[in-house]
Amino acid sequence: MRSLTKAGPADLSDLHDFLDRADLTLSGLDAPTVRLWLLRDADGTVRGSTGYELSADGEHALIRSVAVDHTARGRGLGLDLARFALDRAADTGARHAWLFSRRSGPFWRRLGLEPADRARLATVLAETHQVTLFRTSGQLDHEVAWARDLGSTASSEPAPNP
């Protein structure tokens, strides 16, 4: 595997296809407020992704697009990718991490996230693309929110190289 690279305009088609296969939100992938990274193999195939979007005040980060190709699962790569996003969000000054996940609660608990108030997430991250989409589509009422403070990151293992 190669190291993570920041996603740019030329990566959007590959990223879109990868996240679509992973059944993750595609809204706002090209927005300047969304920061995304890709992990490609030696052939250039996307094998993982991670990222976040900050609130307008920079205090809150919505972690998003954390995914691993099914052929690369079971090796801790998902945890590394999630830690990377949490650490980068903290590096920007964000103090709280939030995300939506209906299926992966045990995974996120391993990183110190706990179930959170969905309405609070939607309030502090109201202008993010994912929250806007979920409100408009009615999906927000069916989502499960997770959160943790970023003051002390739970990243005890190194993240992939950016």
Give the model confidence (pLDDT) of 50-88 as tens digits.
999 999 999 999 999 999 998 888 888 999 999 999 999
Tens-place pLDDT, residues 29-52:
999 889 999 999 999 999 999 999
pLDDT band at 1 (very low <50, low <70, confident <90, very high): very low
Residue 86 maps to a domain:
yes
> Higher confidence at residue 110 or residue 162?
110
CATH code of the domain containing 34:
3.40.630.30
Tens-place pLDDT, residues 102-159:
888 899 999 999 999 999 999 999 999 999 999 999 999 999 999 999 985 444 343 3
pLDDT at 151: 81
Q: CA angle 49-107-95, nearest 5°?
A: 75
Residue 161 maps to a domain:
no
Q: How many domains does the chain have?
A: 1
- pLDDT of 25 above 80: yes
Residue 113 maps to a domain:
yes
| Domain assignment of residue 108, given as a range | 4-149
pLDDT at 75: 84
Q: Is the pTM of this model over 0.85?
A: yes
Residue 16 maps to a domain:
yes
Averaged pLDDT for residues 12-38: 94
Residue 159 maps to a domain:
no
Residue 92 maps to a domain:
yes
Phi, psi of 27 (to 5 degrees): -65, 130
Q: Could you give the CA distance from residue 66 to residue 52 in angstroms, rounded to a whole number?
A: 9
Residue 137 maps to a domain:
yes
Residue 28 maps to a domain:
yes
- Reference 80, options 138, 42, 39; nearest CA is 39
